[in-house]
Amino acid sequence: LLHPYILSQISPFFRLISDHIRSQTNSITFETELITMHEELSLPLQNPLYAGVVVVGGGLAGLAAAAYAARSGRTVTLFEKASQPGGRAMTNHRAGFSMNLGAHALYYQAEAGEVLRELGVPYSGKEPPSLFALSGDKLHKLPLSPLTLLRSTLLDAPAKLEMSRVLAAVMLANTQSLQRMSLQEWLEQHVRHSQLRALLLMIARLTTYTNAPELLSATLFIDIMRKAPKVLYLDGGWQTLVDGLRQAALDAGARIVTGARVVAVEHEERVQGVQGV
């Protein structure tokens, strides 16, 4: 049983989902056959009681999981509690404007871009010409390179000096030894200047869509700082990815059931099914 959390649209989790599907073809994930549901749940399926794979949640990760599993030849049913799939990747269109509910920029050179290419999901967009930070009532260009660091008006001289040391530490860090360290712990060890710490926390929130440095992996943040992946602001918003992944899952043979909230997983030694309301 695959249960992608609705916030798992962050790029590395795309790869986690697809790698799991590729490597677990003989595991319990694909052995469950019976889907037990409460009588209140009406499923518009030809054969609603049986599926080789059940995906709970129709966000980006759930749709990608369903597409990969169906492409592997499995019988796949995806349950989404909302009236339409997408989760926090949905886009609302109002008065000619597209407003993303959650994430707003796609790291197309990272894992998400690779998964979208594998599944044949088209998208287009533009890279932002410059990145700025708002401090007080002034905009400052983000110091993301040695040259912009020297010219930046966002940091004072001591913070700039410390940032040069921090960037060196990022490039030299042994990420294997940091697997169990949080970003918060890493910052406490390497960053003393409060202004610089605030900037790095802002970059972490911006690049990972996560405001929990005590839980965020230091390794993930360091990898992002090293790679400095480029982003796209998508034409039509993230809904284009939702629609593309939904179509990829359907084309592969997956069944998508909306308005079906799964509340429990029935299991003993192995998964027996799911219950919904």
CATH code for position 47:
3.50.50.60
87 is written with which tokens?
A: 């989760």
Angle at 44 between CA 39 and CA 49, to 5 degrees: 55
Longest Cα pair distance anywhere in the chain, in angstroms?
68
The one-letter code for the residue type at 138 is K
Asked if 187 and 169 count as a contact pair (C-beta separation under 8 A), the reply is no
- Tell me the pLDDT tens digit for each residue of 16-62: 434 444 444 333 232 333 343 333 333 433 444 455 888 999 999 99
What average pLDDT does the segment 89-109 reach? Answer: 87
pLDDT score recorded for residue 36: 37
Q: Are residues 136 and 218 in the same domain?
A: yes
Q: Are residues 16 and 86 in the same domain?
A: yes
Strands (E), 111-226: 125-126, 132-135, 138-141
Residue 30 lies in a domain: yes
**Rounded to the nearest 10 degrees, how much is the dihedral formed by the CA atoms of 50, 54, 57, 62?**
-130
CATH number for 187:
1.10.405
Q: How does DSSP classify residue 176? A: G
The residue among 230, 224, 256, 231 whose CA lies nearest residue 242 is 256
Residue 116 lies in a domain: no
pLDDT top residue among 6 and 260: 260
**Rounded to the nearest 10 degrees, how much is the dihedral formed by the CA atoms of 3, 104, 91, 112?**
-40
What average pLDDT does the segment 156-168 reach? Answer: 90
pLDDT top residue among 271 and 110: 110
Domain region containing 85: 11-91+237-276
pLDDT score recorded for residue 51: 58
Residue 107 lies in a domain: no
Q: Are residues 192 and 245 in the same domain?
A: no
CA 54/CA 256 separation, integer angstroms: 10
What average pLDDT does the segment 111-119 reach? Answer: 92
CA 198/CA 254 separation, integer angstroms: 44
Residue % of the chain over a pLDDT of 90: 39
What is the Rg, in whole angstroms, of the alpha carbon atoms belonging to the chain? 22
Q: Are residues 45 and 68 in the same domain?
A: yes
Q: Are residues 198 and 223 in the same domain?
A: yes
- Tell me the pLDDT tens digit for each residue of 186-245: 999 999 999 999 999 998 988 887 899 999 999 989 988 888 778 899 999 999 999 999
Residue 3 has pLDDT above 80, yes or no: no
Q: Are residues 76 and 48 in the same domain?
A: yes
Residue 15 has pLDDT above 50, yes or no: no
Strand, coil or helix: 34: strand
DSSP-assigned states of every residue in 14-29: HHHHHHHHHH-TTSGG
**Distance, C-alpha 147 to centroid of its chain:** 31
| Number of domains the chain contains | 2
Residue 183, classified by CB atoms within 10 Å of its CB into exposed (0-12), middle (13-18) or buried (19+), is: buried
Question: Helices 157-172 & 194-208, crossing angle to 10 degrees?
Answer: 50
pLDDT score recorded for residue 78: 94
